[in-house]
Amino acid sequence: MKRICVYCGSSDGKKPEYKEAASALGRAMLEKGIGLVYGGAQVGTMGKIADTVVNGGGEVIGVMPKSLADREIYHTGLTELKIVTSMHKRKAMMADLSDGFIALPGGLGTIEEIFEVLTWAQLGFHKKPCALLNAMGYYDHLSAFLNHTVTQGFVNTASRSMLITEADPIRLIQRFERYQAPVINKWFHRDNT
């Protein structure tokens, strides 16, 4: 695994443990020699994970739309900052550069981004692992809702298993290293769960 895309917030959140989770994930990636692909900002948990990996001598690639870069919120210490024309191009480039995807605690953009790449995995567009770093139980309610989608017949169990949820960054990276994408025949076995 060469690089992981980490979706994270432009805010710090209300608990210092969220920033610590970003740093801990950055340290775990450094230990394994894994580069970081992220949104390019210097603020929030985005800035925290970038600082950790940059200060540890790791590779950090930021991808940011020009409209945000023009506001000068980009991190100035990155290995590389790629400026793109839209959010759609940002997400596509981040996905192309990465071997897996992790969502730190974050807001609507973070959740949207991890669910987009998870949907791509479900459809067979890629076989890369997708995960939630469940710091301080942040994603407990979301995980319960996803389990509900299975019991209600909207998501099959194989698709649900594609989203790894883990509180410890080191264990999460280990699970990424062992990940094998399930075979899902979404359109052919609609009665199977």
Q: What is the pLDDT of residues 39-63, one digit of tens each?
A: 999 999 999 999 999 999 999 999 9
Task: Please report the pLDDT score of residue 187 as a whole number.
Answer: 57
Quickly list H helices, the chain. Answer: 16-31, 44-55, 66-69, 87-97, 108-122, 140-151, 157-161, 169-178
Specify whether the CB–CB gap between 90 and 84 falls below 8 A: yes
Whether residue 89 lies inside any domain: the answer is yes
Whether residue 183 lies inside any domain: the answer is no
Whether residue 61 lies inside any domain: the answer is yes
How far is residue 59's CA from residue 30's CA, in Å, rounded to a whole number?
Answer: 9
Containing structural domain, residue 37: 3-178
Give the mean model confidence (pLDDT) for residues 23-27: 98
pLDDT-based confidence at 71, cuts 50/70/90? confident
Check pLDDT > 90 for residue 188.
Answer: no
Whether residue 162 lies inside any domain: the answer is yes
Task: Please report the pLDDT score of residue 193 as a whole number.
Answer: 46
Task: Please report the pLDDT score of residue 186 as a whole number.
Answer: 62
Task: Please report the pLDDT score of residue 26 as a whole number.
Answer: 98
Whether residue 24 lies inside any domain: the answer is yes
CATH code assigned at 125 = 3.40.50.450
Whether residue 36 lies inside any domain: the answer is yes
Into how many domains does the chain fold?
Answer: 1
Look over the chain and give the mean of its residue pLDDT values, rounded to a whole number: 94
